Chains A and B, each alone.
Chain A
């Protein structure tokens, strides 16, 4: 009898710990913060990507001017957002003598975004991405065709550098993927996360 009670007690104790851990996890959804204070209302992030490239099998595309505008807010304690504008200019391929980019556009904007924690790292996950790229070149296999890049993308947020970095590791961690040509494609880039509205020059962090 005493042994049974002890077992039950241990089970409840373990359960209590589990529940406490779960409660902590549930309330620890990452949020946008400025100077350590949770963002109230909305803010706009405007930036230019650093060294971003998109690799469709056999063809890598880079845009010298990869700008973006993201509206961020906290909703029920969790960081959310919307990518509202993504102007892409001066795009080239790694086969410049054969394949050129004749037109490119982010479509179906705004793209919803949310913050998520995986292990101990914070990520921004962007959903509903669609980018239409039309390549040109008579000797280019994709020449004359408009290729659609679609899917979701997860990038790790670094509070120290105020950047979000997207690469194959961050896609894997967030279980996100972008596809084109019926194939998973690679997108890498570093995206500064500076505010340009009410909290300009304030340190933006995610925690």
Chain B
């Protein structure tokens, strides 16, 4: 621990003033109570940082390039590795490098792209599903291990001008290289705020899922665990699909039409 400087010793008068106030309150409390006890020590045990910095794999040093405004400048890169060689100039970490091939580089989503594809800025959650460590988990009633009906869902932030909502449930990982549709519903009202468990509102239309059934099916392999993506799309026009529609075909139309989505992931482990 480095020696504290003189400046620092005098830099916390406000904190000490606040401390004095708190101490007065504590004094009153201490006098009222016969004693005090307990501790509020933080039990968080942060893992020590790995010391792999010297073996960085951030890429090979290339000529600095700053085709984007958000890139380190050439001067900064020059400062980063003045010798032009990895580890040169006494650098302890890997030198900064930008990719040589800029044609394949990702770019920031443009306004046009955001307007022409769904941005996940609507809220979607399920009051039916418990969340462990902030991650929603499906329970047996909402799978083939139980009644197999969908959980209640709530959503918000539907943009003005929405004509219809469509809801998909897909397995996060493809099955045999193909996207797996567990449920697809279209024709949900633009002013609706959710779905009750196992009940569809009038006008809603279900597609044929990847099990070949019209309706909802969450059923991973026995002993398997899967993550499911619930995706709600706001549509600026009605797509009017027929009952038993092909969710894959409709999804392509949705992605080309919708500008807003709400996403929720939920996991299920089958015993």
Contact = CB atoms under 8 A, between A and B. Distances in A.
A52 to B, nearest CB: 10
Contacts of A66: 58
A192 interface: yes
Contacts of A22: 19, 22-23
Interface residues of A, number: 100
B113 A103 contact: yes
A11 B179 contact: no
A57 B15 contact: no
A204 B111 CA distance: 39
B202 to A, nearest CB: 27
A190 B30 contact: no
A56 B19 CA distance: 42
The contact size tier of chain B is 35 or more
Contacts, number: 294
B80 interface: yes
B27 A101 contact: no
A54 interface: no
Interface of A: 7-8, 11-12, 14-15, 18-19, 22-23, 26-27, 29, 31, 33, 36-38, 44, 46-51, 56-59, 64-67, 69, 76-77, 85-91, 95, 97-98, 101-106, 118-119, 121, 123, 132, 134, 138-148, 156-158, 160-165, 167, 169-170, 172-174, 177, 179-184, 190, 192, 194, 196-197, 200-201, 205, 207
Top-7 shortest CB links A-B: A58-B172, A184-B134, A105-B108, A158-B49, A173-B44, A77-B11, A26-B15
22 contacts: A18-B26, A22-B19, A27-B12, A46-B76, A56-B265, A77-B8, A87-B72, A88-B106, A90-B104, A91-B106, A98-B177, A103-B107, A104-B108, A132-B109, A134-B109, A141-B179, A141-B231, A146-B118, A167-B47, A170-B46, A182-B123, A182-B264
